[in-house]
A and B are shown apart, each in its own frame.
Chain A
Amino acid sequence: MARVLMKGNEAIALAAIKGGVDAFYGYPITPQNEIPEYLSKHLLANGKVFLQSESEVSAINMVYGAAGAGKRVMTSSSSPGIALKQEGISYIAAAELPCVIVSVMRGGPGLGGIQPSQADYYQATRGGGNGDYQLIVYAPESIQEAVDVMKDSFNIADYYRNPVMVLVDGLIGQMMESVDFDYPVKERKLPEKDWATNGIINHPGRRNVANSLYLDPALLEQHNFKLQAKYNQIKKNETRFELVNFDNPEYVIVAYGTMARICRSAIEMLKKDGIEVGMIRPITLFPYPEKAFDQIPKKAKGILTCELSMGQMLDDVLIANNGRHKVGFFGRTGGMVPDPEEIVDAIKSFNERVVK
């Protein structure tokens, strides 16, 4: 397949098919509707499962059921819809089932708006579900990267028996870019799904149970230790980031997704003004690329966190920076997307933007 021009949401849907998705369960919400629309046609045509559920709550629990059955399963939604899915996500993480959740962020809080936003960073990395759990969160900045991540996400989910979230915003979902679906995904030796609840007939002599209930606190603590050990493995193996213009930066921007794209343009503009600005672009938000911050030169004047929010990833930047440099913040929110010039101005007025 040669490069094709595709809308982000549709490309993500096709990438899911390339990634081997067996079933999709979801509920309509703007700005991600092209994902279920595309899949409704193409999954059913290939004998796979597509089901429009009665609610997001129901959709994520259908995902739970199908993931428990050992199939490759996904859902997609947007901010208020992801909020409704949090209960099920916590259960799926607790029961150690693999699945993929696409979150196409829009402005919030509440019903908010339908324009692009990154105000669900907390929702993705801290979760609204209960308990100590983590999703593996990818934040692609282009449709190509979204496609590559999406294709790989089912392998990652299966490998770690953990939900994976592909986090984009409405801009990536709605825009069109040329994209190539043929980049190979990383080979992983995937463990057999001998835990699947698909009937004893498929694993004689053993009952399989998908469960998150441990009434004995000692056992529940052990379960949490086991999950934590897995999250530590994920941190070790799966952390991804890109360093942009990092030769000798005077300032460093930290931005992901759509905001990183805008910052790329700003960095070029600043270069013309004689100001060298580097960028740490996290590709995984969990695990967060803390180690990338070790590469910031000591003499750098500061770190500017840029987000389409009021400052959520900022927390992780402050943790990763650990007091080494001044940290400033620039954000637009509610669906407002800045021009690169605003980033340029923010760098030039860095001292006014210092948070800590």
Chain B
Amino acid sequence: MLEVKYEKSKGLTDTKLSYCPGCAHGIVHKLVAEALVELDILDRAIAIASVGCSVFSYQFFNCDAQQAPHGRACALATGAKRVLPDNIIFTYQGDGDLASIGIAETIHAANRGENITVIFINNAIYGMTGGQMAPTSLIGQKTTTSQDGRNQPNHGNPIKISEMFATIEGVAYLERVSVYDPKHVLNAKKAIKKAFQYQKENRGFTMIEVVSTCPVNWGMTPVDAMKWAKSDMEPVFPLGIFKDKGAE
């Protein structure tokens, strides 16, 4: 007797994902969708899409959605959550959106302890606009706006969001995960689910930073991109739980 062990989540719409082949955005989309379904909160979820490759995520999550201006996702989420405290509200933002143009909105949402969940995709590059340097680009990383490689005197160091946010009182749960192999994907799902569980319990601001990939703009195959996320990104962005108020 055959039993379904894995199939496409009902938390995703039928719309084909707009991401490039092998882009880890798709993996994280699945994890968010599965978490919303398993926690039985899909029908009261509101996704806040950002600007960047995930701009179309409002078409992919099978729940209500708002499409935010660049960097403002946490402001929209705050505005909506304050008037709809019983809904589950999450943002889905890349590193340009969250760590560059939207860092003020994100920090202050965290500091207020807004009861929202932030899914932060860190792939160390601007994908949508064609591979420009991100605030999280690695030292030495060649991008279209750092063609000889990012260097500290000119560009500063890659910004470490989880380390920064770990210092903020309003943060209830904060973990950096990766999706470069099945084990890490399963762990990422656990983290995302926990973040949403905390939101359900009104514990405060939760954020999951996902060390992700951008095969096309990194100039790698999807498989090599996964390997690079492990070999080159993880040392700069170490994985782990940075804050867990539930465990304190």
Partner pick for A211 among B44, B66, B104, CB 8 A cutoff = B66
Query: Which among B19-27, B81-89, B199-207 touches the partner chain?
Result: B81-89
Report chain B residues within 8 Å CB of A68: 66, 76, 79-80
Q: Are A199 and B69 in contact (CB under 8 A)?
A: no
Report chain B residues within 8 Å CB of A63: 79
With A23-B82, A66-B80, A200-B42 already in contact, the answer to whether A58 and B67 are too (CB < 8 A) is no
Is B13 an interface residue when CB atoms closer than 8 A count as contact? yes
Partner pick for A51 among B45, B55, B78, B84, CB 8 A cutoff = B78
Chain B positions near chain A (C-beta within 8 angstroms): 13, 42-46, 48, 55-56, 58-59, 62-69, 72, 75-84, 87-88, 104-105, 107-108
Report chain B residues within 8 Å CB of A339: none
Q: Are A54 and B83 in contact (CB under 8 A)?
A: no
Q: Min CB distance, B105 to chain A, in Å?
A: 5
Q: How far is the CA of A208 from the CA of B43 in the complex (A)?
A: 11
Which chain A residues in 6-37 approach chain B with CB under 8 Å? 22-23, 25
Is A62 an interface residue when CB atoms closer than 8 A count as contact? yes
Report chain B residues within 8 Å CB of A49: 82-83
Q: Are B108 and A58 in contact (CB under 8 A)?
A: yes
Report chain B residues within 8 Å CB of A111: none
Q: How far is the CA of A80 from the CA of B56 in the complex (A)?
A: 32
17 pairs, A vs B, C-beta closer than 8 Å? A23-B83, A53-B108, A54-B107, A58-B104, A58-B108, A64-B69, A68-B80, A69-B84, A73-B79, A87-B69, A200-B64, A204-B43, A207-B63, A208-B65, A209-B66, A210-B66, A211-B65
Q: Are B68 and A69 in contact (CB under 8 A)?
A: no
Q: How far is the CA of A66 from the CA of B56 in the complex (A)?
A: 21
Q: How far is the CA of A322 from the CA of B62 in the complex (A)?
A: 53
Among A54, A66, A199, the most chain B Cβ lie within 10 Å of the Cβ of A199
Q: How far is the CA of A16 from the CA of B153 in the complex (A)?
A: 51
Main secondary structure of the interface of A (DSSP, over half): mixed
With A201-B43, A209-B58 already in contact, the answer to whether A65 and B67 are too (CB < 8 A) is no
Chain A positions near chain B (C-beta within 8 angstroms): 22-23, 25, 49, 51, 53-55, 57-59, 61-69, 71, 73, 87-88, 91, 95, 197-201, 204, 207-213
Q: Min CB distance, B109 to chain A, in Å?
A: 9
Among B13, B55, B65, the most chain A Cβ lie within 10 Å of the Cβ of B65
Report chain A residues within 8 Å CB of B46: 69, 197-199
Among B48, B58, B59, B82, the most chain A Cβ lie within 10 Å of the Cβ of B82
20 additional contacts, CB 8 Å, given A95-B66, A197-B66, A207-B65?
Answer: A25-B79, A51-B82, A58-B104, A58-B108, A63-B79, A64-B72, A64-B79, A65-B48, A65-B78, A65-B80, A66-B79, A68-B66, A68-B79, A68-B80, A207-B13, A207-B64, A209-B64, A210-B65, A211-B66, A213-B67
Q: Are A197 and B78 in contact (CB under 8 A)?
A: no
Q: Which 4 A-B pairs have the closest CB atoms?
A: A65-B79, A62-B79, A61-B75, A65-B76
Q: How far is the CA of A54 from the CA of B105 in the complex (A)?
A: 7
Closest to A204 in B: B43
Report chain A residues within 8 Å CB of B104: 54-55, 57-58
Q: Min CB distance, B162 to chain A, in Å?
A: 20
Q: How far is the CA of A22 from the CA of B81 in the complex (A)?
A: 13
Closest to B44 in A: A199
Q: Min CB distance, A269 to chain B, in Å?
A: 49
Q: Min CB distance, B196 to chain A, in Å?
A: 14
Q: Are B69 and A73 in contact (CB under 8 A)?
A: no
Q: Are A199 and B67 in contact (CB under 8 A)?
A: no
Report chain A residues within 8 Å CB of B64: 197-200, 207-209
Q: How far is the CA of A88 from the CA of B58 in the complex (A)?
A: 18
